[in-house]
Amino acid sequence: MIDSFNRNITYLRLSVTELCNLRCRYCMPEEGVCKKRHEDMLTQEEMLLAARVCASLGIRKIRITGGEPLVKPNILPLCREIAAINGIEEICLTTNATLLAPMAQQLKQAGIDRLNISLDTLDEAKYRMITRGGELTAAIDGIKAALDAGFQKIKINTVLIGGFNIDEISSLADLTKQYPVDVRFIELMPMVDNRDFGPEAYVPNTVVLEELPELEPLPHDGSVARLYRLPGALGKIGLISPVSAHFCAECNRIRITADGKVKPCLHSSDEISIKGLDEDGMREKIKSAILEKPQWHGELSYYEKSRAGRSMNQIGG
Ligand code: SAM
Ligand code: SF4
DSSP for 27-48, please give it: TS-TT---PPPGGGSPPHHHHH
Report, in angstroms and rounded to the nearest whole number, the Rg of the chain calculated over CA atoms: 19
Would the pTM count as exceeding 0.75? Answer: yes
Asked if 118 contacts 96 with a C-beta cutoff of 8 angstroms, the reply is yes
∠ CA(305), CA(306), CA(310), 5° rounding?
Answer: 120
Whether 232 is covered by a domain: the verdict is yes
| pLDDT tens, position by position, 133-173 | 999 999 999 999 999 999 999 999 999 999 999 999 999 99
Question: Do the domain assignments include residue 5?
Answer: no
Distance 233 CA to ligand 2 centre (A): 28
Domains contained in the chain, number: 1
Mean pLDDT of 16-38: 89
* Residue 6 belongs to a domain: no
Residue 2 lies in a domain: no
pLDDT tier, 82 (very low <50, low <70, confident <90, very high otherwise): very high
Q: Which CATH number does the domain housing residue 220 bear?
A: 3.20.20.70
Q: How confident is the model at residue 192 (pLDDT cuts 50, 70, 90)?
A: confident
Strand bridging mode 11-15 / 253-256: parallel
Residue 3 inside a domain? The answer is no
Atom number of ligand 1 nearest to Cα 20? 1
For residue 127, the model assigns a pLDDT of 98
As a whole number of angstroms, the distance between CA 295 and CA 169 comes to 32
> Does any ligand 2 atom lie closer than 6 A to the CB of residue 68?
yes
Instruction: Report whether pLDDT(7) > 80.
Output: yes
| Residue 252 is assigned to a structural domain of this protein | yes
Is residue 220 in a domain?
yes
Q: Is the CB of 118 under 6 A from ligand 2?
A: yes
Which of 16, 118, 120 should be mutated for ligand 2, with most atoms under 8 A from CB? 118
Domain assignment present for 303 = yes
**What integer pLDDT is reported at residue 48 of this predicted model?**
98
Beta-strand (E) ranges in 174-314? 181-187, 216-217, 226-229, 237-240, 253-256, 261-263, 272-273
Share of residues in the chain with pLDDT > 70 (%): 100
Query: Mean pLDDT throughout 71-81?
Result: 97
Range of the domain at 273: 11-315
Whether 269 has a pLDDT exceeding 90, the answer reads: no
Q: For residue 240, is pLDDT > 90?
A: yes
